[in-house]
């Protein structure tokens, strides 16, 4: 019985430590570049809002979407899995990301195999989007 308790205690501590080391995504982020297309040529007012494991996507051209996100900060680059609820089905995005001051860069693949890129270079099948923190 003591071995089981010790195992769960260690497991719990690892989870808590991982959460405390996760980058601070909480807040509102506005899209300013998508696959190299400059800000003046992309759709305005695309907002991704992160709050403690939940994400809300607001766009002027479709309904607002909500979902969950999971961060894996055990490797570099950092990994994020986004599960977006759309029409009662989940759209899953597997991505890597990095934060640089008030800029969030995400490189990912949607609705495919669980494949994460190793870097932020251009790569077939992956999208690179950049956001600026707005609050």
pLDDT at residue 63, as a whole number: 80
In the CATH hierarchy, which fold is given to the domain comprising 24-133? Lipocalin (2.40.128)
Separation between Cα atoms, residue 52 and residue 78, nearest integer Å: 17
For residue 48, which of 134, 116, 107 has the smallest C-alpha distance? 134
pLDDT tens digit sequence for 29-48: 999 899 988 766 777 788 99
Partners of residue 37 on adjacent β-strands? 34
91-120 tens-digit pLDDT:
899 999 999 989 999 999 887 789 999 999
Residues counted in the chain: 135
Does 18 have pLDDT greater than 70?
Answer: no
Cα gap 21→11, rounded to integer Å: 16
* Per-residue pLDDT, 12: 31
């Amino acid at each position: 019985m003591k071995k089981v308790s010790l195992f769960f205690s260690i497991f719990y501590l690892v989870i808590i430590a991982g959460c405390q080391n996760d980058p601070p995504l909480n807040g509102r982020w506005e899209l300013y570049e998508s696959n190299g297309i400059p800000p003046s040529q992309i759709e305005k007012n695309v907002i991704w809002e992160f709050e403690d494991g939940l994400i809300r996507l607001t766009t002027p051209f479709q309904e607002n979407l909500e979902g969950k996100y999971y961060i894996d900060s055990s490797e570099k680059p950092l990994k994020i899995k986004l599960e977006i609820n759309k029409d009662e089905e989940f759209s899953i995005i597997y991505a890597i990301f990095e934060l640089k001051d008030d800029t969030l860069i995400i490189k990912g693949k949607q609705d495919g195999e669980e494949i994460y890129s190793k870097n932020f270079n251009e790569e077939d099948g992956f999208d690179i989007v950049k956001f600026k923190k707005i609050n």
